[in-house]
Chains A and B, each alone.
Chain A
């Protein structure tokens, strides 16, 4: 690391082209969203207009209008890096994926070898930042002040992590696997972004893959080109981008980004009394159930007494969505929505419901989902100091005339 990468970082800054759009959010009623309103829309390489959270390292949020469908286009997919510099150039003639550590036969695989030697599998899965919707926590908490757009759903294709580990031959005594990408902090004192999963987690689940394809195309650089880890059902913190090193270790890996970062209270709800500190914590893991009403856009003027079609998406941590319900009376009565095509248990599930707004005034529609093990969403938001796991019932307001 040290000086070279620091100079590269400064060089990257100095020579940067200004492709910032300099516009602010209009159109979607996010203009009236207290967290997202006023943030600039920016266009980064290989990306469409996204909401700027931070420039360096880039953190870009997807406008909610893109969640009117099950698959999030690559150009609209959110971006979240932790350290700087991030990779801006990857040459596949020299890029290698290393699998090493506590193994019998360390591997160094080119992209061609990865594709030729290991079976390709496909999984459609939601990638959601642990801190998605953190901006809505009350009391508020420090960290990335995301609205609800730090999520996306894509069809990922790649090889099974367990096939790679089998080829490398995991030795007796191995307990975890660590994942490191090409992003390397310029300051030696900033911990490199490295994540770990237990060996059991990755060996038991054939859907944990090293993906080199996203929605039928190579991954955008900012979403992890040329390969990223896919951990279906679990938060995006584990989905290491621009992957370069997979290392099997024989003791728990507890570097900064595993501990104390990315931890949730060790309580059944992952929550504590608002404003208090947890007694014990565990690494964040499976996603909570969420659902969103995305069409018509909030604030849309609807004709009273005339039927409208409400649409949105729902997802959970990998059991699959069993039911979505809407309520227009503040949650007293709930009505079942129709579910769209099933793209697998890790995917966004589209839903729709015909709804006739009352004759006049403002109307509020709430939406909640249940997964196949009966987990759902609450009417009161749960709280934890890092601003994770948000899954309170969402509601959308319409003007009826």
Chain B
């Protein structure tokens, strides 16, 4: 009897808990945001998907080397993206090549 009562109490608590907690599960990164293959794509994938999905990059207007240098510099200086100078150069060149005008 005591067990039954306890079970009922537990169920009530669970129900109350369920009503007051809200939970969702997010999907993984969508394949449409995948970076184009090509020299530099691996280092770009490694360094540029840490804080956000790469659709942030893919959706941007096509741009010249100056645009992409600016983007990479902003990620490093403003948001602290951890890229070595060599990687930063490789990524910026890759982006200008694959997402250029």
A307 touches B (CB below 8 Å): no
Q: Indicate if the CB atoms of A190 and B61 lie closer than 8 Å.
A: no
Q: Indicate if the CB atoms of B22 and A218 lie closer than 8 Å.
A: yes
Size of interface on A: residues with Cβ below 8 Å to B: 48
Taken residue by residue from 3 to 42, chain B's Cβ proximity to chain A (1 for < 8 Å, 0 otherwise) reads as 0000000000000010011111111111011000000000
Among B20, B25, B53, which residue has its beta carbon within 8 angstroms of that of A45?
B25
Residues on A with C-beta less than 8 A from B60 are 142, 145
**Residue from B28, B29, B60 whose CB has the most chain A CB atoms within 10 Å:** B28
Q: Indicate if the CB atoms of A55 and B29 lie closer than 8 Å.
A: yes
How far in angstroms is the closest Cβ of chain B from A255?
Answer: 12
Interface range, B side: 20 to 34
Among B21, B27, B61, which residue has its beta carbon within 8 angstroms of that of A91?
B21
Residues on A with C-beta less than 8 A from B71 are 142
Q: Which of A79-105 contact B (CB under 8 A)?
A: 83-84, 86, 88-93
Among B21, B55, B63, B78, which residue has its beta carbon within 8 angstroms of that of A55?
B55
Q: Indicate if the CB atoms of B80 and A88 lie closer than 8 Å.
A: no
Taken residue by residue from 275 to 296, chain A's Cβ proximity to chain B (1 for < 8 Å, 0 otherwise) reads as 0000000000000000000000
Residues on B with C-beta less than 8 A from A73 are none
Task: Tell me the complex Cα distance, A89–B17, Å.
Answer: 12
How far in angstroms is the closest Cβ of chain A from B60?
Answer: 6
B67 touches A (CB below 8 Å): yes
**Are A18 and B27 CB-contacts (below 8 A) given A53-B55, A55-B33, A187-B50?**
yes
Q: Indicate if the CB atoms of A42 and B30 lie closer than 8 Å.
A: yes
**Are A93 and B52 CB-contacts (below 8 A) given A56-B29, A142-B60?**
no
Task: Tell me the complex Cα distance, A202–B88, Å.
Answer: 43
**Are A140 and B55 CB-contacts (below 8 A) given A18-B27, A19-B27?**
no
Q: Which of A52-84 contact B (CB under 8 A)?
A: 52-58, 83-84
How far in angstroms is the closest Cβ of chain B from A391?
Answer: 21
Q: Indicate if the CB atoms of A145 and B61 lie closer than 8 Å.
A: yes
A365 touches B (CB below 8 Å): no
Task: Tell me the complex Cα distance, A86–B53, Å.
Answer: 14
Residues on B with C-beta less than 8 A from A145 are 59-61
A119 touches B (CB below 8 Å): no
**Are A88 and B24 CB-contacts (below 8 A) given A40-B30, A54-B33, A140-B61?**
yes
Q: Indicate if the CB atoms of A185 and B27 lie closer than 8 Å.
A: no
Residues on A with C-beta less than 8 A from B26 are 12, 16, 44-45, 56, 58, 86, 88
Q: Indicate if the CB atoms of A16 and B28 lie closer than 8 Å.
A: yes
Residues on B with C-beta less than 8 A from A19 are 25, 27
Task: Tell me the complex Cα distance, A225–B23, Å.
Answer: 10
Q: Indicate if the CB atoms of A93 and B17 lie closer than 8 Å.
A: yes
How far in angstroms is the closest Cβ of chain A from B51?
Answer: 6
A226 touches B (CB below 8 Å): yes
Task: Tell me the complex Cα distance, A303–B67, Å.
Answer: 47
Residues on A with C-beta less than 8 A from B80 are 187-190
Taken residue by residue from 198 to 229, chain A's Cβ proximity to chain B (1 for < 8 Å, 0 otherwise) reads as 00000000000000000000100110011000
A17 touches B (CB below 8 Å): yes
Q: Indicate if the CB atoms of A93 and B20 lie closer than 8 Å.
A: yes
How far in angstroms is the closest Cβ of chain B from A155?
Answer: 20
Q: Indicate if the CB atoms of A45 and B79 lie closer than 8 Å.
A: no
Task: Tell me the complex Cα distance, A53–B32, Å.
Answer: 10
Among B20, B24, B52, which residue has its beta carbon within 8 angstroms of that of A221?
B24
Write 28 A-B pairs (CB below 8 A) sorted by A numbering.
A13-B28, A16-B28, A20-B27, A44-B26, A44-B27, A45-B25, A52-B30, A53-B55, A54-B52, A54-B53, A55-B30, A55-B33, A57-B52, A83-B51, A86-B26, A88-B24, A88-B26, A93-B17, A142-B63, A145-B60, A145-B61, A185-B51, A187-B50, A188-B80, A190-B79, A190-B80, A218-B22, A221-B22
Taking Cβ atoms with an 8 Å cutoff, the residues of B that contact A are: 17, 20-30, 32-33, 50-53, 55-56, 59-61, 63, 67, 71, 78-80
Q: Which 8 A-B pairs have the closest CB atoms?
A: A189-B80, A45-B24, A140-B61, A92-B20, A56-B53, A91-B21, A55-B53, A89-B23
